[in-house]
Structure 1
Amino acid sequence: MEVITRLFKTNIRQYGMIIALVVIMFLFTLLTGGLLVKPINITNLILQNSYILVLAIGMVLVIITGHIDLSVGSIAAFVGALSAIMMVNWDFPAWVAVVVSLVAGALIGAWQGFWVAYVRIPAFIVTLAGMLLFRGLTMIVLEGQSISPFPGGFQKISSGFLPDLANTATNMVSILAGIVLSVLYILNEIRDRRAQLKYRFEVSSQGLFVLKLVLLVAVINVFTFMLASYAGIPNILVLLFILIVMYSFVMGKTVMGRHVYALGGNEKAAGLSGVKTKKVTFWVFVNMGVLAAISGLVFAARLNAATPKAGTNFELDAIAACFIGGASASGGIGTVFGAIIGGLVMGVLNNGMSLIGLGIDWQQGIKGLVLLLAVAFDIYNKNKRAA
């Protein structure tokens, strides 16, 4: 019991947000008469929040380094506008427009990263300027008009689903995906546990470990069965899964990830330890630019139009997702998985409050309180550890 308590305290933000997500889903399931967890609504939740989750993955890296990026919503809108001009007005092939859009996002990130990393202008100021600049450029290139429709193949980024193996009522690809993910998860957890035991790290008991595996495998398969009961696995979910796995690996298993955490924890100490702090900061902002471009493309594909108002408040939702998911406002702390959980908390709150008929005024107020409580909880735990 003592080991369990210690493990929970060590990961209190992450576990706390998972518990909060479960409680929020249970509450809104009761309030909506089960509507929240219907397969069609679960699919809609994924589609509606996909572009915010993509942004949250990049934003958590920026926050871990001790910075902030207020421009991502405007960058997403600008890249969406560029892609529309290329595909709709100039008849570029979709893949060419996507590649050019991603390069544009990287260049924008490099532009902002240069001012933050090498000129040493605070990221708040640089990205605030970027927010205004790229919002203005979006309106200029679109001339105040929406551009649509996109080619059908491009729309499938956000609205398409993986094809099924057979014409059955239940999507077999989703069922098989659940089984494969369960096996991979179990093998990965067993490997990690053996490595921890080999180096004499503290681990949970065998019984608790098995219970955790059973519960998470059940969650994975229930989730994929719900998707299978509607239309299967959305294409955007595949993209999200790849990004989550890739960035979790980079942050948890590579030198680059350790350098990002070191920079956020103590920049001077990281520099003295050999971390090229300016270079790390620069590439974190380049990465954020690319992910903002992906988010803009996903949103444009879902809306089937590029509009001057696209991306409004995306940056606030992404930042809120990171802080709710356990990132520290002072840098050095945060995980990709935590940012995704924080984004899902915000998404379920939005969806649940809409289903029960709460107005946008109440929704904004409640989300603001949730964010404030999450950051206050972080400060409380930090002060408690320091005491």
Structure 2
Amino acid sequence: MAVDTMTAQSERRVATWKRVGSMREAGLVAIILALCVVMTFASPHFLTLGNFRAMLMSFSVEGIVVVGMTVLLIVGGIDLAVGSVVCFAMVFAGSMFMLGLDPWTSSLLGILMSAVIGAIMGFFVTVVGLNHFITSLAAMVIVRGLCLAVTKGTPISLFTLPPSFKAVGQGSIYGIPYVILIFFAVVVIFDFLLRRATAFRKVFYTGSNEKAALYSGIKTNHVKFWVTVMCSTLAGVAGVIYMSRFGSATPTFGVGMELNIIAAAVIGGASLNGGSGTIFGAILGIALLSVVSSSLILLDVSVYWQDMIKGCILLAAVSVDHYLHKRKA
């Protein structure tokens, strides 16, 4: 009897490890660790506190946007305008500050305007009937044009920002930057909601089979609308943090950011066909891209080659996603 019990326990442990090994997140962790080991020998500057702090600061703010993009991909959408919205939040909040508003109110207005942009995109998707790709592509161009029109193509210097506001992007507590704490809070909250909240389960149902979700009583257009607004709002939050961190608002900031954001979410397991994805996987995706970027910089690889390599990583991730989707079907 005891032997049977031990055998059953052993089989359960083996099955558990097999499940863990088959998880996409486990593979990403292994790749990140392997890359870190290789870079430790390739560059003496990689395994340093300063480099790891820089990488954490780099992907923490982008990670906030990745959270919103992941949820949007799960519902079956995509947002090509996130980079422009991040920039617009900076420019709008910076402009309001220069007109005499305090930075906190200006930032709140910047985030609110980002949500409005998301609401406009959501309207065209759910009411007019356009798809997310075309709608967000048009929004990307329009919002970037607004940024250039408002600033006349000239960066807004915000050196008069009060220290209390600059602390959000530059300060720390017990050696931990506030940016990382904000990022951690956003990840924990949305990961919990995506796993436990009934309202967020509707996101998976809508992305998996919108028609079946509609027949089961889920207002799928409402779900898509609010997820689109949420993605833009989180992009606005990231824009305000960037403004606090750099003390300026540049109208060309965030160009190409959508590549990193979408790549991170897809690498982390969010399907372009909707219905699958995790916050933890997406964060591992952005962490992998951050390690790759840091490695290329330390190895003195040209910035043009860096973009090409990131594009190849995105293509590989999309190909894997397509293969897995076909296999599941």
- With normalisation by structure 2, the TM-score equals 0.92
Alignment of 1:157 with 2:100, yes or no, is no
Alignment of 1:7 with 2:7, yes or no, is no
* Residue 127 of structure 2: aligned partner: 118
Deviation, 1:66, is 1.0
Alignment of 1:378 with 2:321, yes or no, is yes
Aligned residues: 315
What is the 5 A alignment of 1:1-387?
Answer: 2-4=14-16, 6-8=18-20, 11=23, 13-33=24-44, 35-87=45-97, 89-150=98-159, 151=161, 152-162=163-173, 164=174, 232-386=175-329
Post-superposition Cα deviations, 1:334-383, rounded to whole Å, max 9, x if no partner, equal: 01111111001111100111011111122122212222222222233333
CA RMSD, Structure 1 to Structure 2 (Å): 1.5
CA distance in 1, matches of 2:226, 2:28: 29
Deviation, 1:37, is 2.6
Deviation, 1:256, is 1.5
Post-superposition Cα deviations, 1:44-72, rounded to whole Å, max 9, x if no partner, equal: 11222222111100000111111110111
* Amino acid of the structure 2 residue aligned with 1:44: A
CA distance in 1, matches of 2:288, 2:308: 15
CA distance in 2, matches of 1:122, 1:94: 36
- With normalisation by structure 1, the TM-score equals 0.78
Deviation, 1:32, is 1.0
Contact 1:267–1:277 (CA under 8 A) maintained in structure 2 = yes
- Out of 47-56 and 263-272, give the one that drifted further: 47-56
Contact 2:210–2:220 (CA under 8 A) maintained in structure 1 = yes
CA distance in 2, matches of 1:44, 1:139: 29
Deviation, 1:8, is 3.5
Contact 2:61–2:179 (CA under 8 A) maintained in structure 1 = no
Contact 1:47–1:158 (CA under 8 A) maintained in structure 2 = no
* Amino acid of the structure 2 residue aligned with 1:49: F
Deviation, 1:287, is 0.3
Q: What residue ranges of structure 2 are gaps of 5+ in the alignment?
A: 1-10
- Out of 318-327 and 89-98, give the one that drifted further: 89-98
* Amino acid of the structure 2 residue aligned with 1:61: V
Q: What residue ranges of structure 1 are gaps of 5+ in the alignment?
A: 165-231
Contact 1:296–1:311 (CA under 8 A) maintained in structure 2 = no
CA distance in 1, matches of 2:39, 2:241: 27
CA distance in 1, matches of 2:222, 2:96: 32
Q: Which runs of 4+ in 1 moved over 4 A?
A: none
From the superposition, tell whether residues 119 and 10 of structure 1 become closer, same or farther in structure 2 (CA, over 3 Å).
farther
Question: Secondary structure, in 3 states, of the residue corresponding to 2:251?
Answer: coil
Deviation, 1:5, is 5.4
CA distance in 2, matches of 1:97, 1:115: 27
Contact 2:263–2:317 (CA under 8 A) maintained in structure 1 = no
* Amino acid of the structure 1 residue aligned with 2:55: L
* Amino acid of the structure 2 residue aligned with 1:271: L
* Amino acid of the structure 1 residue aligned with 2:201: R
